[in-house]
Structure 1
C-alpha cells in the first residue's frame, strides 16, 4: 500500500525502486553505526588504559579524533538519511558536509597508515617528502571530485513517507567513482612498502625473533583486505549501478576504515618501552634482538641488532648500547 503515501507517480517502477534502495541504504547506515558503537564497547578497557591513562602524545590525539569524530559523523548521517526528505537545499547541504567529513576521516586514517610506514622505515626524512605530498594530493582529488559531483546534482526525490533521506533525481556523474580511487592507490602503496620491509626482515631473521615486524605485517594485510573489500564495490556501484544506490557503502566504508585505524593505533600504543633490566654481558655466541618502542613521537622503531662481539647492552633500550 505504498501508493497512499506518494505523489503523482507513486505507482511507477522507478519510484518503487527508489523506495527499495532507500530501505537498503538505511539498513547499511544503521549497520555501520552499530558496528562502530560495538567496537567502542569491546575496546573501551584498552582505550582507557592506552589512550586516557597514558602520557599524551600525537598518537592519543589522532586516535581520539579518528574514533569520536567518525562516531559523530555517522550519527549525523543517520539523522538525515533515516528521516523524511525536507528540501533540495537541505539535501545539498547534507551532501556537502558529508563530502567534507568523509574526506577528513579517510585522510586521517591514511595519515595513520603513513605514520606506520614512516616508523617502519626508521623515520627517514626523505620518505616524508614522498608520503606527505601523496596524502595532500589524495585530499585535493577527493575534494574536487565530490565538489563537482554535488554541484551537478540539483534535484532530489521529493517523496513523502516511507521514503526517507536524500536521493538524487537525475544522473549522478559517473566520474564520482574516482572519489575512492585515491584511497585505493594510497593503500596499495603503503601495503607494498609494508610487505617489502616486513617481509625482508622476517625472511632474514624469522617470525619468532621479530614479533613487532610480524604485528605490522599482520595489521597491514588486514588493512589492505578490508579497504579493498569495501572500496572496490563502492567504485563499481558509483560507476555502474543505479543512482539511488550512491549512498549504499559510504557509511560502511567510513566505519571500517575508522575501526582499522583505531585498532592499529592501539596496537602501536600497546608496544610500550619496557623497564631497562640490569646490564648483560653478551658473548660472540649470543645474538640478541633489541626491540625498541614504537611510540610515534619519541623513539625509533624497530631495529634488530645482532651482537657478534663481547659488550654491555641495556636490553629494550635503543639508546644505551656499548659494544666493546
Structure 2
C-alpha cells in the first residue's frame, strides 16, 4: 500500500514504525546483555555437565530466542519489499514466537511437576493444558495473518512490515492462553510453597523459598508484559501490533533460562542427602533429567522435603 491518504494517518504510522523498531532493538539488546552477564554460570552449569534434558532445553531456549529475535530485527530494519514478503515474515515470526512461548511454559510446567513430587495425576492436568495453549496460539496467529494482506510501503529510512489498517481484533486472544497458563502455574506454586513454608519455616526450606520467589517474579514479569499486549491488540492502532512482541519474547525467554540456571545451581551446590529425613520423605530436585524415586502413589497428605540429589 503506497503512502497516500490522510497526512495525519501517515505521520502516525511513521511514528509507530520508529517506536516498534526501537523496541525490537531494545529486546535484542536485552537478550544479548543477559547472555553476557550469565555466560560464566551457563558454562559452569550447562556446558561442563553431562548432556541431559535440562541442558538441552536451556540451550534451545537460550540460543533459539537469540536467533529468532535477530531475524525479526533484520527484517523489521530492512526496507519494505512487498506484501508477499511481509506475509512470509509474519508466518515465520508467528511460528518462532509460539515455539519460544511453548518452550518456556514447558519449563514452567515441569517446574511445577517437580514441586508436586512428579505425580502422574499432575501430568494428566498439565500436559493437556500446554497442548491446548499451543493449539490456540497457532490458530489465532494463523487466522490473523491470513486476514492481513495489505502493508504500508514505507519510504527509506523507515523500514519494516506494518499492516494497513486491517488487523482483526481477535488477535488479542493470542495473549490469553499465556496469561491463563501463567496464572494457573503461579497459583499452584503459591499453594504448595506457601503451605510447606508455613508448616516448616523458611529457614528449613530454602529450595521451596526459591521456587516461590522465582514463581512470583515470573508471574509479575509475564503479566506486566502480556497485559499491555492484549490491550494494544484489542484497542490500539494496527501499526502498533508489533510493538511489544519482541520485548515479550525476550522477557519470557530470559525468565525461563534464569529458572533453569537457579535450579541447576542449587542441585550442583548441595551434597547428596538421604531419601528420608525427620520431616518426611524427600523428593530429588533433579530438574527434568531423571524419573523420581518416590512412588507415584505417595500420600498427598505428606509434606515432602525437596532435596538435592546427584545423578545416579
- 2:61/2:104 contact within 8 Å kept: yes
- 2:288 paired residue number: 296
- 2:145 paired residue number: 150
Residue 203 of structure 2 aligns to a residue whose secondary structure is coil
- 2:57 is equivalent to residue 56 of structure 1: no
- 2:35 paired residue number: 40
Range with greater deviation from structure 2 (293-302 or 38-47): 293-302
- 1:290/1:316 contact within 8 Å kept: no
TM-score for both structures, normalised by structure 1: 0.87
Kindly state the Cα deviation for residue 213 of structure 1 after the two structures are TM-superposed: 0.1
TM-score for both structures, normalised by structure 2: 0.90
Q: Distance in 2 between matches of 1:135 and 1:295?
A: 18
Kindly state the Cα deviation for residue 83 of structure 1 after the two structures are TM-superposed: 1.2
Deviations 1:39-84 (A, max 9, x none): 0000000000000001221000000000000000000000011111
- 1:198 paired residue number: 193
Range with greater deviation from structure 2 (32-41 or 286-295): 286-295
Aligned positions, number? 299
Q: Distance in 2 between matches of 1:75 and 1:8?
A: 28
- 2:133 is equivalent to residue 132 of structure 1: no
State which of 162, 182, 186 in structure 2 corresponds to 1:187.
182
Deviations 1:192-235 (A, max 9, x none): 00000000000000000000000000000000000000000000
Against the structure 1 CA distance between its residues 125 and 7, is the aligned structure 2 distance closer, same or farther, given a 3 Å change threshold?
A: closer
Kindly state the Cα deviation for residue 9 of structure 1 after the two structures are TM-superposed: 2.8
- 2:236 paired residue number: 241
Q: Distance in 1 between matches of 2:179 and 2:48?
A: 35
Kindly state the Cα deviation for residue 158 of structure 1 after the two structures are TM-superposed: 1.3
Residue 169 of structure 1 aligns to a residue whose secondary structure is coil
- 2:186/2:216 contact within 8 Å kept: yes
State which of 88, 92, 106 in structure 2 corresponds to 1:93.
88
- 1:69 paired residue number: 64
Kindly state the Cα deviation for residue 288 of structure 1 after the two structures are TM-superposed: 9.0
Gaps of 5+ in 2: 295-302
Larger radius of gyration: 1
Kindly state the Cα deviation for residue 270 of structure 1 after the two structures are TM-superposed: 0.9
Greater helix content: 2
Kindly state the Cα deviation for residue 297 of structure 1 after the two structures are TM-superposed: 1.7
- 1:3 paired residue number: none
Higher RCO structure, 1 or 2 (CA under 8 Å, sep 6+): 2
Against the structure 1 CA distance between its residues 299 and 15, is the aligned structure 2 distance closer, same or farther, given a 3 Å change threshold?
A: same
Residue 298 of structure 1 aligns to a residue whose secondary structure is coil
State which of 21, 24, 34 in structure 2 corresponds to 1:26.
21
CA RMSD for the aligned pairs? 2.5
Range with greater deviation from structure 2 (123-132 or 294-303): 294-303
Q: Distance in 2 between matches of 1:80 and 1:67?
A: 21
- 2:111/2:287 contact within 8 Å kept: no
